[in-house]
Amino acid sequence: MTSSYQQQLDAKVERISAQFAEYQPPALEVFESPEQYYRMRAEFRIWHTEDDLFYAMFERDENNNKRVIRINEFPVADRSINDLMPQLLEAFKADATLGHRLFEVHFLATLKGEVLVSLIYHRKLDESWEPAAKALAEKLKIKLIGRSRGQKFVLSDEFVVEELSVFDRKYQYKQIESSFTQPNAQVCQKMLEWACNVAQQSDKDLLELYCGNGNFTLPLSTRFRRALATELAKSSVYAAEWNIEQNGIDNIQVARLSAEEFTQAFNGDRTFRRLQEANIDLSTYDFDTVFVDPPRAGIDDETLKLLQRFERIIYISCNPDTLHDNLKQLSQTHKITKFALFDQFPYTHHVESGVLLEKR
């Protein structure tokens, strides 16, 4: 396992170094993943036969036909998920109320030890399901949600609370079922520390676009006078505000705006009632750094123009191709002064990378 992990990581380093060579970045900083038990989320189909049911995933053969792969253990996922898998399967087999027409099982785990399990059914859940599910949740000490078409049973909470360590401080994060969270929590902690290190310490303000649940916002706020974070998804804004309050941080405001909408507001092209309702006055901010962690599609042209107005840009990317494309514009005004690879997704071709860009 060790040699294969190192080989795949070396291949990623070689590929990313070659891909970005034209921008003349500094030496690539490489942040490794644990080789096993690193993924905090996992989703499995439940495959039913005449006398059995089991966790399943699929792979395609050379003719593009799907083949069912029986999953007895999953060392990619956190240990808590692996420990729960056989216990849940035993319960599904023993009680038809829980196992009948069960279609998928989704796990969301935390380093703190909390686990949320979502059971998705291809049948209407009747009144017998809830007491059976509650008994199972209490026995296994997990949070449990049941779903079928038009139904959602939340037995306790529809979230877990994660705890991430950044240098000598621990941050609590509400992570809501079906919302985006970083899948590799141990590498995520390395990303947070890297971002704080490259941000250094500023007596000015931070702008963050695409803030999600405030994953980066919370630790980065310690490096700035104030931070303004933007996010469009209501559930993520709600989680971010909960996280800010839970961690006792008082220098962050969250605006429910897309990156494009913030650009319009910042340029004075449009006024937004959402800013007024959140008591956010953009004229009171003195930004010198912008932090972005955009979706795989990258950043639109108007937002790229906005980024070019800042002294420093910290850009975390889950897609090196769109990062490379965005740098065509950003490198006209900024130079890469830090360059990092975070192995969030071992044994896959996916790469998470980070750059610090400073104005030329």
Query: Radius of gyration of the chain from Cα atoms?
Result: 22
The reply to whether 188 and 148 lie within a common domain is no
Looking at the predicted structure, is the pLDDT value of residue 2 above 70?
no
Report the predicted TM-score, pTM, of the whole model to 2 decimal places: 0.94
Distance of alpha carbon 39 from alpha carbon 224, whole angstroms: 31
Q: What is the mean pLDDT of residues 273-293?
A: 96
Distance of alpha carbon 188 from alpha carbon 211, whole angstroms: 14
User: Is 210 assigned a ligand-binding role in the annotation?
Assistant: yes
The reply to whether 84 and 217 lie within a common domain is no
Distance of alpha carbon 283 from alpha carbon 53, whole angstroms: 60
Range of the domain at 20: 3-36+182-359
Sign of CA dihedral 89, 95, 101, 104: negative
User: Is 319 assigned a ligand-binding role in the annotation?
Assistant: no
* Catalytic residue set: 318, 352
Looking at the predicted structure, is the pLDDT value of residue 256 above 60?
yes
User: Is 315 assigned a ligand-binding role in the annotation?
Assistant: no
Structure tokens at 338: 């830090």
- In-domain check, residue 130: yes
Structure tokens at 182: 């970083």
Q: What is the mean pLDDT of residues 174-178?
A: 92
DSSP strand pairing (205-209 vs 226-230): parallel
The reply to whether 120 and 186 lie within a common domain is no
The reply to whether 103 and 137 lie within a common domain is yes
Please list, in sequence order, all residues whose beta carbon lies within 8 angstroms of the beta carbon of residue 48, skipping any fewer than 6 positions away: none
User: Is 182 assigned a ligand-binding role in the annotation?
Assistant: yes
Q: How many domains does the chain have?
A: 2
The reply to whether 231 and 120 lie within a common domain is no
Q: What is the mean pLDDT of residues 239-266?
A: 96
Measured in residues, the chain has a length of 360
Residue 198 pairs in a beta bridge with none
pLDDT at 179: 86
Please list, in sequence order, all residues whose beta carbon lies within 8 angstroms of the beta carbon of residue 176, skipping any fewer than 6 positions away: 158, 159, 213, 235, 238, 239
The reply to whether 212 and 315 lie within a common domain is yes
pLDDT at 188: 98
The amino acid sitting at 119 is: L
- In-domain check, residue 165: no
CATH number at residue 75: 2.40.50.1070
Distance of alpha carbon 353 from alpha carbon 28, whole angstroms: 10
| Cα angle: 254, vertex 341, 60; to 5 degrees | 95
CB-CB contact of 7 with 319 (8 Å): no
State pLDDT tens for residues 69-119. Answer: 999 999 999 999 999 999 999 999 999 999 999 999 999 999 999 999 999
The reply to whether 73 and 23 lie within a common domain is no
Looking at the predicted structure, is the pLDDT value of residue 308 above 80?
yes
